[in-house]
Amino acid sequence: MQGAALLTGLTAATMQGDDNAYGLIPDAAIAVGDGKILWVGPLSGCPADHLALPHHPHEGRLVTPALIDCHTHIVHGGHRAREFEMRLEGASYEDIARAGGGIISTVTATRDASLDDLIATALPRIDALIGEGVSTVEIKSGYGLDLETELNMLRAARALEQARAITVKTTFLGAHAVPAGMDADTYIDTICLPALDAAHGEGLVDAVDGFCEGIAFTPAQIARVFDRARALDLPVKLHAEQLSHLGGTALAAKYNALSADHIEYANESDAAAMAGAGTVAVLLPGAFYTLHETQMPPVDALRHHDVPIALATDWNPGSSPMGSLLLAMNMGCTLFGLTPAEALGSTTRNAALALGLTDRGTITPGQRADLAIWNVEHPAELSYRFGFNPLHQRIHEGTL
Ligand code: DI6
Ligand code: FE
């Protein structure tokens, strides 16, 4: 058996059990082998065959499932620091977008970048996430808005999985913005849908996303993209109710979307629709913070309807240039009122669900041995501090 070992002397936050529990096991042992978790439990109850494996003692450190960043735009060209200055001078995100800045300015920089450039500039970003114990990351297209660049972004995302010990899940986000000089319907018919077909044909797409917002696409336009995704047997997810209530969340639920993301302006009936569809709520506090948003996502309604809540960085050059999933956890608690247990479940178990993954996100036998070992005593410490990274060791697919 490849890489068989027994990790000992740990407090294990298994993230098993109900939504608000850590599933804590004190003085735990974890047997790993062939990239999987073989056994987890109190050392006192460890079976003899696992006790015979090589021991890796951890003197009381905390172990969690490795973190999962389920919503990023880390493949992109250029930066938007000037836009940051403009917003501080009083311009709104929408003003800048309507004036041709925002997403469109990153599109120009991304179209000018070669595939090697896109890979090279994304590597430090993915290394930052790996350095915080991330073992799975979702990466979107959406800064090309032409066929070749949308495919190049997804090729770069796939290349990152070859360049680092990390799982990359790709998302086609051709319906991110309308290129200058074109109307939305023409763009969807002549560029977005052909690009989705081509990307799918090249095996580059794991899911399909869209930006349902006044400055982007209407629910009806998103539905045309989702119909094509359904025809290609691809799951969908949606940037919804970020800046207003257009009905994106309800549309996502209608298509049994993996997730509805942002959702600051979603309401009680949206939460009920998500619950009925098994759609995960992906909250993105980095964008809320960067855009000085004041509308809170409906956390109590999500809790009431048992909608799984995930947190992610939304790492993008405009609305959330944030390179820390631990900071997103702290913001989820401080800005959105999540408990530290909800925050840790949001970047492990529920983040896996937001990507349609059932083989990771908890510490249970049979799951991937994607683990993060931390120099802390209690799991709440992971959300409590910000600007400090207590990671001791990341274990990716059982490789110690
Ligand atoms: N919502 C967002 O916050 C990002 N995309 C989206 O649909 C913004 C991306 C950017 O500003 O570059
Ligand atoms: Fe986003």
Tens digit of pLDDT for each residue in 254-303? 999 999 999 999 999 999 999 999 999 999 999 999 999 999 999 999 99
Q: How confident is the model over 243-258, as pLDDT tens digits?
A: 999 999 999 999 999 9
| Domains identified in the chain and CATH numbers | 5-64+362-395 (2.30.40.10), 67-354 (3.20.20.140)
- Sheet with 167-175: strands ordered across: 67-69, 134-140, 167-175, 207-212, 237-240, 259-262, 280-283, 309-311
Distance CA 175, CA 143 (A): 10
Across the range 345-353, mean pLDDT stands at: 98
Q: Decide which of 172 and 85 is more confident.
A: 172
Does residue 130 come out as left (phi exceeding 0), alpha (psi in the -120 to 50 range) or beta? alpha
Confidence at residue 92, expressed as pLDDT on a 0 to 100 scale = 87
Please, what is the average pLDDT of the chain? 96
Distance 239 CA to ligand 2 centre (A): 6
Confidence at residue 99, expressed as pLDDT on a 0 to 100 scale = 82
> Residue 106: CB within 6 Å of ligand 1?
yes
| Sign of the torsion angle spanned by Cα atoms 13, 264, 87, 102 | positive
Pocket test for ligand 1, best of 76, 103, 209, 290 (most atoms within 8 A of CB): 103
Percent of the chain with pLDDT over 90: 93
> Residue 318: CB within 6 Å of ligand 1?
yes
Across the range 30-38, mean pLDDT stands at: 98
Model confidence at 231: pLDDT above 80: yes
Model confidence at 19: pLDDT above 60: no
The amino acid occupying position 202 is E
> Residue 317: CB within 6 Å of ligand 1?
yes
Place 175 in a pLDDT band, splitting at 50, 70 and 90.
Answer: very high
Name the residue among 356, 362, 394 with its Cα closest to residue 375.
394
Model confidence at 159: pLDDT above 90: yes
Counts for the chain of helices (H) and strands (E), in that order: 17, 14
Model confidence at 52: pLDDT above 60: yes
Across the range 11-27, mean pLDDT stands at: 86
Model confidence at 47: pLDDT above 80: yes
Model confidence at 20: pLDDT above 60: no
Nearest ligand 1 atom to the CA of 239 is 7
Radius of gyration of the chain (CA): 21
Place 62 in a pLDDT band, splitting at 50, 70 and 90.
Answer: very high
Nearest ligand 1 atom to the CA of 319 is 11
Task: Say which ligand is closest to the CA of 103.
Answer: 1
> Residue 242: CB within 6 Å of ligand 1?
yes
The amino acid occupying position 395 is I
Across the range 54-59, mean pLDDT stands at: 96
Distance 313 CA to ligand 2 centre (A): 9
Confidence at residue 18, expressed as pLDDT on a 0 to 100 scale = 61
End-to-end CA distance of the chain: 14
Nearest ligand 1 atom to the CA of 103 is 12
Across the range 181-194, mean pLDDT stands at: 97
- Please, are residues 169 and 355 in contact by the beta-carbon 8 Å criterion? yes
Confidence at residue 98, expressed as pLDDT on a 0 to 100 scale = 80
Q: How many CB atoms sit inside 10 A of residue 283's CB?
A: 30
Place 100 in a pLDDT band, splitting at 50, 70 and 90.
Answer: confident
Confidence at residue 124, expressed as pLDDT on a 0 to 100 scale = 98
User: Which tokens go with 81?
Assistant: 């620091």
Confidence at residue 248, expressed as pLDDT on a 0 to 100 scale = 98
| Helix, strand, coil distribution of the chain in percent, nearest 5 | 40, 25, 40
Of the candidate ranges 13-22, 244-253, 306-315, the one whose mean pLDDT is the lowest: 13-22
Model confidence at 362: pLDDT above 80: yes
- The DSSP output letter for 397 is T
Distance 73 CA to ligand 1 centre (A): 9
Q: Whose CA is nearest to atom 10 of ligand 1?
A: 318
Q: Whose CA is nearest to atom 8 of ligand 1?
A: 319
Confidence at residue 15, expressed as pLDDT on a 0 to 100 scale = 97
User: Which tokens go with 91?
Assistant: 């311009």
- Full 3-state SS string of 15-56: CCCCCCCCCEEEEEEEEEECCEEEEEEEHHHCCHHHHCCCEE
Q: Whose CA is nearest to atom 2 of ligand 1?
A: 319
